[in-house]
Amino acid sequence: MEVVKHKKRGGELQKISYFDATGRRVLAERYEGGQLTRLELREYPARRTQYGRPTASWLLVRGDYLRHQFLSAPTHATTHYYHRLRPAGECL
């Protein structure tokens, strides 16, 4: 699924989502002005659970910021953050 929005101040926002065979969103991309600014991956258990929630998610945003979140129970999540600064002027 792809959605394209035009901003008032110019530029374009493009969102692309990928779904698995059961209809769960597994990958989402966001582009601003043709540049990738956000990438999110969701991992689901092999068997469908009653909650239907992902067991883990990965989020990469501008500036080499990465978040990994592991959901060990419906109400408990373990989150790890990774960050590496990029040189000025370098884009994602």
Which among 41, 4, 39, 37 has a CA at the least distance from the CA of 20?
A: 41
Instruction: Collapse the DSSP code of 79 into the 3-class scheme (helix H, G, I; strand E, B; otherwise coil) and give the result.
Output: strand
Check residue 30 and give its pLDDT.
Answer: 92
Average pLDDT on 57-73 reads 81
Q: Model confidence at 90, in pLDDT bands (50, 70, 90)?
A: low
* Alpha-carbon span 83 to 21, nearest angstrom: 33
Q: Quick check: 32 and 13 in contact, CB under 8 A?
A: yes
- pLDDT attached to residue 26: 92
Contact 59, 38 (CB under 8 A): yes
Question: What are the pLDDT digits (tens) for 3-53?
Answer: 777 777 778 889 999 998 888 889 999 998 888 888 999 988 877 665 677
Contact present, 25 and 16 (Cβ < 8 Å): no
pLDDT at 74: 66
